[in-house]
Amino acid sequence: LKKRLEKCNQDVLEYVKEFREFSKVVQSRLAGLSSGKAEVQRQVEALLTRVEHAQRDIDYFGSTTDSNACVEVHEDLLEQQLLEEEEEKKRLKLMFNASCDHVLAGIKSLKVVKKTGGKHGSWMKDPGKKHAKIYLLSGSVNNVILEFANIMAFMEDNQTLKARRVPLPLPWEGTGHVIYQGFLFYHRHGSLNQIIKFNIQRRKVAGQMLLPGAGRVPAYQLSAHTKIDLAVDEQGLWALHAEPETGGNIVITKIDAAALAVEHSWDTPCSSRGAEAAFMACNTLHVLYNSPSGGSSRILCVYDVLGAHTNPGLQLPKRQGSHSTVHYNPKEKQLFAWGDGSQIIYKL
């Protein structure tokens, strides 16, 4: 048994020796392959460089022989593009019936009407109706609208007792909802981009739609609870939101309020970074920017969908704080804002 164990040990030592020699051979061959790979890579790079030089020569000779034809084609394309842009502007003006003949020059004054509710919420009138009712929607997620007969009833101390409660079958998300022509339009809580049209008088859902591209990122960086901000101006219903594909810039979408369908969409240069709210007035987007800790809000980006020239840089009257929502009322030419629990009116 001892002799057999010695022989086994001797065989193991020989196998180890052979394996080490084999490892050395493999390592040397791998080193050769690495150097060969580097050489092939250098040759391929040199070939690519020569191909690029040849391509530039071909492009040069092609441009010298066909330069006149190319110029003519490019001029035709440019002329066609200009014609298409003019036709698009004419179509948009017809869609809007007539362009507005005024621009926002400044904010004249502010009035804090009341302080009720939490940090997030919205309040408004219906610019599509003749009545003076006030609607209060408190919170960024809720399913009850408070309706007041007028602003005096809203301002009373026991205002919640004076209000008519209108429950919703589906809760809202954010503070970007609007009331227009007797309907509440809002982003449905728990959905990516579903917009609900709710008949306030009959208390039932009148329609719904999906807003393409919306709902993935907040409409404004400083109001992360609002993914879709709906707005109303002289031309009707709009939707404001941001998209990752636009680099976080705000997108404007015109919506047919009756059919609940998209009419047109515009990518704007207005960034959602540093923005807290926005509103539409006379076909024009006005974006409010602020500091994360709250400060003096300024309108630093303005975009007219019809291409008219406007001047940004308007500052709201001195008031330190932040806005949860700012909505324009085209009937009264005022802004209805919610700032740190206060309901504010800005006269334009």
How does residue 38 score in pLDDT terms, banded at 50, 70 and 90? confident
pTM of the predicted model as reported, rounded to 2 decimal places: 0.73
Count of Cβ atoms closer than 10 Å to residue 162 Cβ: 15
Return the top range by mean pLDDT from 88-92, 181-185, 297-301.
181-185
Please state the φ and ψ torsions of residue 117, each to the nearest 5 degrees: 90, 180
How many CB atoms within 10 Å of residue 204? 9
Q: Which of 296 and 166 is assigned the larger pLDDT?
A: 166
Percent of the chain, pLDDT > 90? 54
Per the model's pLDDT, the better-predicted residue between 203 and 90 turns out to be 203
- The single-letter DSSP state of residue 333 is T
Check whether 42 has a pLDDT greater than 90.
Answer: no
Cα separations in angstroms, 273 against 220, 290, 339: 7, 10, 19
Give 160's contacts (C-beta < 8 A, 6+ positions apart): 146
Tell me what pLDDT residue 95 has. Answer: 58
The pLDDT of 254-278, averaged and rounded, is 94
- Could you report the per-residue pLDDT of 185-212, keeping only the tens digit for each? 999 999 999 999 999 999 999 999 999 9
Provide, rounded to the nearest whole percent, the portion of the chain with pLDDT above 70: 88
* Separation of alpha carbons 87 and 297, rounded Å: 37
Query: Rounded CA gap, 30 and 111, in Å?
Result: 81
> Looking at residues 316-334, what average pLDDT do you find?
88
Q: pLDDT tier at 24 (50, 70, 90 boundaries)? A: confident
Q: What is the pLDDT of residue 202?
A: 94
Residue 140 or 46, more confident:
140
Indicate whether 140 pLDDT > 60: yes
Q: Which residue has the higher pLDDT, 28 or 126?
A: 126
Amino acid at 47: L
**pLDDT at position 67, please?**
47
Angle at 61 between CA 70 and CA 52, to 5 degrees: 110
For the segment 288-300, the average pLDDT, to the nearest whole number, is: 89
Indicate the average pLDDT of the chain: 86
**Does 215 have pLDDT greater than 50?**
yes
Residue 94's pLDDT is what? 59
- In order of 116, 124, 334, the CA distances from 331 in angstroms are 25, 12, 8
Distance (Å, rounded) from C-alpha 184 to C-alpha 199?
7
What is the residue-wise DSSP string for 232-274? EETTEEEEEEE-GGGTTEEEEEEEETTTTEEEEEEEEEEESTT
